[in-house]
């Protein structure tokens, strides 16, 4: 039987009991597959890679080597949260690579969205390859492949979490959640004891804030975007909109407009709020945000974030707009 096809008899994992049964079954399979050898995992902090990491830690402990690459385009506090959870709380064998300067130097002056994506993806592979090359005795590569990835790619996942592999390294894949749908991965994550906010984290593109800092990325505008995005997320948490809205974020275009601060004119950037709901990401509707909340978010961003003097709301559904700007 093709191991990449979900059997009809497999019950949808919706309860803690079913999740625990799945976890026990996978732990046995992982131990049988891996034995006493080492496994490498690119840990992004996203739902899928985090659940795979927690499952492997439970199964084989320090035989798992996690590599977390911070490309400098993460949301505020994300890399810190990954380190705190996996290194400090779960005692994972975690290698943290802060490659911020490396990525931002390569991106300087690049405004074309597709080129930005290629640079970020390509450099991620290089950084991961370098770290993998420093390690001894790695026999397996773990990936957070889930069932929709297999369905979309005809059974071949284009190195979803890693991007690519060193050519002189032969790894056997470990993909414990490859037959699960996203909602099942979340149930399993909670059963493994991962924090709710990590398991129900909203989708975040691989290039991160790189495709939300529109046009050529500069460090000061990227910093303003990260701070504004953190305020939006905090306010959505405060009024429980974070539970109702599938994806919400700030984009900051490379344009300035005149504003007033302390009685003086000054030029600042514009923050654009995007908040959408979708079931399949093929189409999306714009969530209606109460004006009272929008006013509060606008006040905080324009008063707390250096360099931003305007806040706009994007009211475009998909189609005609895409969910991301770039």
Residue 326 lies in a domain: no
What is the CATH number for 161? Answer: 3.40.50.620
Asked if 239 and 160 sit in the same domain, the reply is no
Q: For 31-41, how does the pLDDT look when each residue is reduced to its tens digit (9 = 90+)?
A: 999 999 999 99
* Judgement on whether residues 84 and 48 belong to the same structural domain of the protein: yes
Task: Tell me what pLDDT residue 2 has.
Answer: 62
pLDDT at residue 324 above 90?
yes
Task: Tell me the mean pLDDT in the region 203-227.
Answer: 95
Of the candidates 199, 233, 260, which is a domain's last residue?
A: 199
**How many domains is the chain partitioned into structurally?**
2
With respect to residue 64, please indicate whether it lies within any of the assigned structural domains: yes
* pLDDT band at residue 67 under the 50/70/90 scheme: very high
Q: What gap in Å lies between CA 303 and CA 312, rounded to an integer?
A: 15
Q: Are residues 191 and 230 in the same domain?
A: no
User: What proportion of the chain, given as a percentage, has pLDDT over 70?
Assistant: 94
Q: Are 284 and 276 in contact (CB under 8 A)?
A: yes
| Inside any domain, residue 99 | yes
Region 78-102 average pLDDT: 96
Distance (Å, rounded) from C-alpha 215 to C-alpha 93?
A: 37
Question: Is 289 part of any domain?
Answer: yes
Q: Residues 179, 295: one domain?
A: no
Average pLDDT, integer, range 291-320: 97
- pLDDT at res. 169: 55
Summarize pLDDT for 139-187 with one digit per residue, the tens. Answer: 999 999 999 888 877 544 344 444 445 555 578 999 999 999 999 999 9
6 lies in some domain: no
Contacts for 69 with CB less than 8 Å, ≥ 6 apart: 42, 97, 99, 124, 127, 128, 131
Q: Are residues 261 and 149 in the same domain?
A: no
Q: Which residue has the higher pLDDT, 234 or 162?
A: 234
The answer to whether the CB of 142 falls within 8 A of the CB of 56 is yes
Task: Give yes or no for a contact between 325 and 251, defined as CB atoms under 8 angstroms apart.
Answer: yes
Report d(CA 118, CA 210) in Å as an integer. Answer: 11
Q: Which residues face 155 on adjacent strands?
A: none
Per-residue model confidence (pLDDT) at position 148: 87
| Domain final residue pick, 199, 230, 250 | 199
Q: What is the mean pLDDT of the chain?
A: 92
259-275, pLDDT tens digit by residue? 988 889 989 999 999 99
- Here the tokens at position 180 are 């699960």
Give the model's confidence band at 111: pLDDT under 50 very low, under 70 low, under 90 confident, else very high.
very high
Domain extent at residue 282: 212-313
Per-residue pLDDT, averaged over 235-250, amounts to 95
Can you give the pLDDT at residue 203?
83
- Asked if 193 and 232 sit in the same domain, the reply is no
Is the pTM here over 0.95, yes or no?
A: no
Q: What is the mean pLDDT of residues 60-87?
A: 96
Asked if residue 185 and residue 234 are part of one domain, the reply reads no
Residue ranges of E strands in the chain:
38-42, 64-70, 93-98, 138-142, 172-174, 247-251, 256-261, 264-277, 285-286, 308-313
- For the cut 50, the answer to whether the pLDDT of residue 215 exceeds it is yes
- Are 132 and 254 members of one domain? no
Residue 131 lies in a domain: yes
8 located within any domain: no
Domain at 297, CATH number: 3.30.300.10
> Are 57 and 154 found together in one domain?
yes
Is the link from the previous residue into 145 a cis peptide, with omega within 30 of 0? no
37, 141: one domain: yes
Pair (165, 266) in one structural domain: no
Last residue of a domain, one of 199, 226, 257: 199
pLDDT in tens, 21-32: 999 999 999 999
- Given a cut of 50, whether residue 64 has pLDDT beyond it is yes
Tell which residue, 273, 271, 270, 322, has the closest CA to residue 293: 273
Residue 191 pLDDT more than 60? yes
- Of all residues in the chain, the percent with pLDDT exceeding 90 is 83
Residue 85 covered by a domain: yes
- The predicted model gives 69-86 an average pLDDT of 96
Angstrom distance (rounded) from CA 314 to CA 59: 45
Mean pLDDT of 117-134: 93
Pick 95 or 162 by higher pLDDT.
95
pLDDT at 167: 54
Residues 180 and 47 in one domain: yes
The set of residues, in sequence order, having a beta carbon less than 8 Å from that of 79 and lying 6+ positions away, is 45, 68, 70, 96, 98
């Amino acid at each position: 039987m093709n191991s990449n096809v979900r059997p009809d008899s497999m019950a949808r994992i919706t309860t803690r009991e079913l999740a625990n049964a799945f976890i026990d079954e996978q732990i046995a399979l992982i131990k049988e597959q891996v034995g006493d050898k080492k496994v490498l995992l690119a840990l992004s902090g996203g739902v899928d890679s985090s659940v795979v990491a927690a499952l492997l830690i439970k199964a084989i402990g320090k035989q798992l080597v996690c590599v977390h690459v911070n490309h400098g385009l993460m949301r505020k506090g994300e890399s810190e949260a990954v380190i705190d959870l996996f290194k400090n709380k779960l005692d994972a064998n975690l290698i943290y690579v802060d490659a911020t300067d490396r990525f931002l130097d390569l991106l300087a002056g690049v405004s074309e969205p597709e080129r930005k994506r290629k640079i970020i993806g390509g450099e991620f592979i290089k950084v991961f390859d370098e770290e993998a090359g420093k390690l001894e005795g790695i026999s397996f590569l773990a990936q957070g492949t889930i069932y929709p990835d297999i369905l979309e790619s005809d059974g071949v996942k284009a190195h979803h979490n890693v991007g690519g592999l060193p050519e002189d390294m032969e790894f056997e894949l470990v993909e414990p959640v490859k037959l699960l749908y996203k909602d099942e991965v979340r149930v399993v994550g909670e059963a493994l004891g991962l924090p709710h906010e990590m398991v129900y984290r909203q989708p975040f593109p691989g290039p991160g804030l790189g495709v939300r800092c529109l046009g050529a990325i500069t460090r000061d505008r990227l910093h303003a975007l990260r701070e504004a995005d953190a305020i939006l997320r905090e306010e959505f948490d405060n009024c429980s909109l974070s539970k109702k809205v599938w994806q919400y974020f700030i984009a900051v275009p490379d344009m300035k407009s005149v504003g007033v601060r302390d009685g003086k004119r000054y030029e600042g950037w514009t923050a654009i709020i995007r908040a959408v709901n979708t079931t399949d990401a093929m189409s999306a509707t714009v969530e209606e945000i109460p004006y009272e909340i929008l006013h509060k978010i606008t006040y905080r961003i324009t008063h707390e974030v250096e360099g931003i003097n305007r806040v706009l709301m994007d009211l475009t559904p998909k189609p005609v707009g895409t969910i991301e700007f770039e």
